[in-house]
Structure 1
Amino acid sequence: MQYSTEQILQMAPDTPAAKAGQQLASNAKWLLKAVNEKALWGDCQGSGKTPYRTMVDLDNIAFKCSCPSRKFPCKHGLGLMLLYVQQPDVFTVEASLPDTVAEWLSRRGAREAAKDEKVQKPVDEAAQEKRIQAREKKVLAGIEELRYWLKDVVRTGIMNVPQDIYGFNQSITARMVDAQAGGLANQLRQINRIDFFHEGWQLALLKRLSKIYLITEAFDHKEQLPPEMVQELQTLIGWTQSKEEVLQTMPVEDTWTVLSITLSEEEQLRTERVWLYGHNSKRYALLLQFYAGNQSPEHLWVKGMQLQAAIAYFPGAAPLRALIKSHQSLSVQPIDIEVAGEVTQIYEQVSGALSVNPFLTQFPFILNRGTLTRHEGHWWFKDAANQAIPLANTTGECWRMLAFSQGKPCSAFGIYEEERFALHTLWSDHKSCFVS
């Protein structure tokens, strides 16, 4: 297994889980420890009478444990992997798998096979067309109401909006949900994230409202737009494309590196964003996954992981979101990507991308040989040409990145959003620093 202690700890959902996993990486904690070319498994004595059975899929890293923890991976899975990396000799090498482990791996394989079968299953085009027409009728009625609402807001003025931040758009947001325009509902919810207690909220609000109106106006004239832009608008409004349809498109086969992994949680829904970079295609890809409750990820990605994969992009203008069609994990190692990226190129590429798709909000970018600097209380990333870009990272993150770079030039991956650059990963001299 090609994982180091540091890389395994990066899989931990939080710091307490990582610390607890390290404490369980002890031979004395485990009643049973075994390994096969396909899996690790072991029994860890907990506070109850029955030990916890912990399993790790080594082909496509995944965990399963009988403990009640909702964390994924739990401390037992982390502890078992850490123990194997640090003391492989204490594990019994088994030629065959026990029934519980074999059954778990079989179910995982069956799910993958079912996905492939679903992708190849023929579609009832007549029934599908009927559903599309009914959906579009509801959406169009909702959009018409939204346009009236936007015009009323502009006509009556926005100065009183901070007095009723949550009630301001509550009714129209609910109406978009009812009209099956979930994308527009989400656009309206973004208004509630504006800081109405600081000067400049007026511009932020007008930009949000203008973008929503532009979406409705563009969709009203969709016959004049290219198919890729129509697809983009449909996504923004709330049409979702099935994974099966996406996986049927021509994939991009390449060697990909996991540049960053970020997790966010809102209303018990966890969102995982994994950014990849293709070494030959020079393309970025965003894997976006949603998990509710104690649902666990299908694949566990590790920062710095390299994989040989076929990736299918969701259709649209300048697509970034993608799905993994097939992959094989190669190794986990420090990131070492050389791209001639400079600050001026960020603005050039952002301008070019917006001319193709004015609704883009995030722009991935790699900068080489840059330095972190602090000027007049603000943090900047300065390239070799002495051009600097403001950073969206927190002060604590910036100090940590500065400690990693020691003030020396390093390469960085980040996301340009709302006129600032958020660094996610730094690397230099075969070492990596993951901010997120």
Structure 2
Amino acid sequence: MSEPIEPPWSAEQVQALAPDASSLAAARKLAGGSGWSTTGTGGTPAGLWGLCKGSGSTPYQICVDLTEPAYKCSCPSRKFPCKHALALLLRWSTGNVAAAEPPQFMTEWTTSRGNRAARKAEAATAPRTEAQEKAAQRRAAKRAESVAAGVAELRTWLSDQVRHGVAGLDQAGYRPFEQVAARLVDAQAPGLAAAVRRLAPVPSSGPGWEQRLLAELSLLHLLAAAAADPEPLPEELAVTVRSRTGQQVAAEQVLAGPRVRDRWQVVGSRDELDDKLNSRRVWLRGRDTGRAALVLSFAAPGQALPVDLVLGTELDADLAFYPGAAPLRALVADRHGPPRACPDPGPAQTVAQALDEICAALAADPWLFSWPLLLSGALAPGRPWHLVDAAGDALPLDPAFGEPWRLAAVAGGRPVTLAAEWGPAGLRPLAVYADAEVVLA
């Protein structure tokens, strides 16, 4: 029997895993109920298990692998994790789950998971056949031709905006941008399409929108010009340009490259939901290297996003970074043990240090629109609010975030450690670390 994970995750961390508010409400009710006949924690890998009374005669079997984490429940719910798994985690967070020897249903599940992972790793390392390689080359050539046509059309559109002027775009709505973005999607350049869609709200963003739009059009023109002829660029910058158009390196290729081992802290996450594709952005920061990392995951509407990285935990792991001029996106390659609660994120940055880091990143990749920061300072009200550090330097909060009264209440006027996502409009708070606790923004 393995040692239980100490300390358990907090209730706030468990709440962050809930797929929706109704699941969380139901889990809270179940956690304190009397329907539990068995619960326990331990095993290898470290996990939780329980039997909870359901609507039938047989209790539901709930399994949680804490090293990923991963979840399984015999209930018919399609939510992930379901209310029973959340309830078990909530019981664990309050110290109501004791160490024990895993039952057979837990052992069978963890063994099955281990076997599947081994088969998947074997398949990932299997070499391509000659026919598969030729087919991949044909697909790549066809896509490159399509992207080149899309880039040429985008450059023409950008020239037209400058030639005709942008004064009327505040009356045109989103349609002109959406039309261009749709054609770029057809041209297999989703990265460029996303960049055009980000322009759509600018004309309605208030006074000074013309200057902001021209600045964004200039950056997009720079990207389109680089995408049209990437050969003269340094290799790392050329890779960045290709990724910005939407051409991603295969995960297998990333995992086959160099890896960075560290104690990676899960400092924040943010979901972006729309009617076509949901995404989750999880920000990590290396405790020893101070390096930032972004783990992206995607799911179709109605499907659950992965919840394998828990806010406020720290994992000893190897990360494989996607290549580029300012490598940021990464994959978790190998984990060395279960995650640990991390109520103290360690040394935070001053505003000056944060600005130096952002400047270095932008110098390498001028098309960055977000960067994770771990800042120390006090929240100061205003229009907009600011984070002010001990030296009196300040960074504004993104007005789109709204009034951060909840975070201000947690801070109580004292300096705190703020995990935030930097963007051109300011900081978007993700979490606050105060009094050995992590509180969601």
Q: Could you state the TM-score of these two structures normalised by the residue count of structure 2?
A: 0.88
Distance 1:193 1:114, change over 3 A: farther
Shift of 1:62: 1.5
**Aligned with residue 277 of structure 2, among 269, 275, 286:** 269
Find out whether 1:153 has 2:135 as its counterpart.
Answer: no
Distance 1:119 1:397, change over 3 A: farther
CA distance in structure 2 between the partners assigned to 1:235 and 1:284 by the alignment: 18
Unmatched 5+ residue regions in structure 2? none
Find out whether 1:144 has 2:152 as its counterpart.
Answer: yes
CA contact (8 A) 1:271 1:288 kept: yes
Amino acid at match of 1:361: F
Amino acid at match of 1:174: A
Aligned pairs for 1:329-408 within 5 A: 329-339=338-348, 341-368=349-376, 370-375=377-382, 377-392=383-398, 398-408=404-414
Distance 1:136 1:321, change over 3 A: same
**Aligned with residue 204 of structure 1, among 178, 190, 212:** 212
Q: Please name the residue that 1:163 is paired with.
A: 171
**Aligned with residue 97 of structure 1, among 91, 98, 104:** 104
**Aligned with residue 123 of structure 2, among 118, 121, 139:** 118
Structure 1 range deviating more: 350-359 or 275-284: 350-359
Amino acid at match of 1:169: F
Shift of 1:199: 2.5
Q: Deviations over 1:396-429 (max 9, x none)?
A: 6522222112111222222221141223232244
CA contact (8 A) 2:266 2:283 kept: yes
Find out whether 1:313 has 2:321 as its counterpart.
Answer: yes
**Aligned with residue 236 of structure 2, among 228, 242, 264:** 228
CA distance in structure 1 between the partners assigned to 2:265 and 2:117 by the alignment: 23
CA contact (8 A) 2:239 2:324 kept: yes
Q: Deviations over 1:69-114 (max 9, x none)?
A: 443222111112333454336x9x555413xx55543443244223
Distance 1:96 1:338, change over 3 A: same
CA distance in structure 1 between the partners assigned to 2:24 and 2:259 by the alignment: 36
CA distance in structure 1 between the partners assigned to 2:143 and 2:54 by the alignment: 52
Percent identical:
35
CA contact (8 A) 2:151 2:228 kept: no
Amino acid at match of 2:136: Q
Shift of 1:245: 0.5
Amino acid at match of 1:335: D
CA distance in structure 1 between the partners assigned to 2:375 and 2:389 by the alignment: 7
Shift of 1:283: 0.4
Q: Deviations over 1:156-192 (max 9, x none)?
A: 2222323332321333222212211111111122223
Distance 1:70 1:182, change over 3 A: same
CA distance in structure 1 between the partners assigned to 2:233 and 2:261 by the alignment: 29
Partner secondary structure for residue 371 of structure 1: strand
Amino acid at match of 1:322: A
Find out whether 1:9 has 2:18 as its counterpart.
Answer: no
Shift of 1:221: 3.3
CA contact (8 A) 2:384 2:398 kept: no
Q: Please name the residue that 2:293 is paired with.
A: 285
Q: Please name the residue that 2:424 is paired with.
A: 418
Partner secondary structure for residue 13 of structure 1: coil
Amino acid at match of 1:224: P
Distance 1:386 1:212, change over 3 A: same
CA distance in structure 1 between the partners assigned to 2:27 and 2:235 by the alignment: 50
CA contact (8 A) 2:203 2:210 kept: no
Distance 1:394 1:116, change over 3 A: same
Name the Cα RMSD after superposition.
2.6
**Aligned with residue 248 of structure 1, among 240, 253, 256:** 256
Q: Could you state the TM-score of these two structures normalised by the residue count of structure 1?
A: 0.89
Distance 1:285 1:264, change over 3 A: same
Partner secondary structure for residue 130 of structure 1: helix
Distance 1:104 1:46, change over 3 A: same
Distance 1:393 1:413, change over 3 A: farther
CA contact (8 A) 2:387 2:397 kept: yes
Q: Deviations over 1:280-338 (max 9, x none)?
A: 22201111111224544555221111111000000001111100001132411312311
Amino acid at match of 2:416: C
Q: Please name the residue that 2:31 is paired with.
A: 25
CA distance in structure 2 between the partners assigned to 1:351 and 1:146 by the alignment: 28
Partner secondary structure for residue 261 of structure 1: strand
CA contact (8 A) 1:392 1:422 kept: yes
CA distance in structure 2 between the partners assigned to 1:48 and 1:96 by the alignment: 21
Find out whether 1:188 has 2:174 as its counterpart.
Answer: no
Distance 1:392 1:139, change over 3 A: same
**Aligned with residue 77 of structure 1, among 82, 85, 99:** 85
Unmatched 5+ residue regions in structure 1? none
Partner secondary structure for residue 395 of structure 2: strand
CA contact (8 A) 1:166 1:192 kept: yes
CA contact (8 A) 1:312 1:325 kept: yes
State the number of aligned residues: 428
Q: Please name the residue that 1:88 is paired with.
A: 97
